[in-house]
Amino acid sequence: MTQDTPQQPKPASGSPKHTPSDNKERVYWLDQTKNVDKVFYGLCVLCGLSVAGDLLIHRHVILEIEAIFAFYGFYGFVACVGLVLAAKELRKFLKRKENYYDDDS
């Protein structure tokens, strides 16, 4: 017996049930809030472990400020926030009009 229409392969277990003929939007694993919560708590645990690891090592510091508990973690956080804030201000000077590339004049 021959079939008129070919069968589509079944999706692997755990993958979204999405076929090209669907008009639905594709569902990604971070679209579900329970997965976002797991990632968030996992990152919090990793950050806590890295800060707690500061108790286990002996640093040979050059400057006295480096001897403060979790100095590098706080320094990295402040530097990252500073870069984001600086980029927001820099955007005001560098942004172009929305139709910059379409403008022929």
- Structural domain count, the chain: 1
> Does pLDDT of 89 surpass 70?
yes
Residue-wise pLDDT tens digits, 69-82: 999 889 999 999 99
**Domain-embedded: residue 35:** yes
In a domain, 53, yes or no: yes
Using the predicted structure, report yes or no on whether residue 64 has a pLDDT greater than 90. yes
Residue 84 reports pLDDT greater than 70: yes
Within a domain: residue 104? no
Query: What pTM does this model have?
Result: 0.56
pLDDT digits (tens, 9 = 90+) for 5-28: 556 555 555 555 555 555 678 888
User: What's the confidence (pLDDT) of residue 80?
Assistant: 95
Q: Is residue 21 part of a domain?
A: no
Residue 79 lies in a domain: yes
- Would residue 5 count as lying in a domain? no
Domain of 43, in residue numbers: 29-57+65-93
In three state form, how does the secondary structure of the chain look? CCCCCCCCCCCCCCCCCCCCCCCCCCCCHHHCHHHHHHHHHHHHHHHHHHHHHHHCCCCCCCCHHHHCCCHHHHHHHHHHHHHHHHHHHHHHHHCCCCCCCCCCC
**What confidence category does residue 29 fall into, taking pLDDT thresholds of 50, 70 and 90?**
confident
Between these two residues, 67 and 11, which has the higher pLDDT value?
Answer: 67
Closest residue by Cα to residue 17 from 8, 7, 27:
27
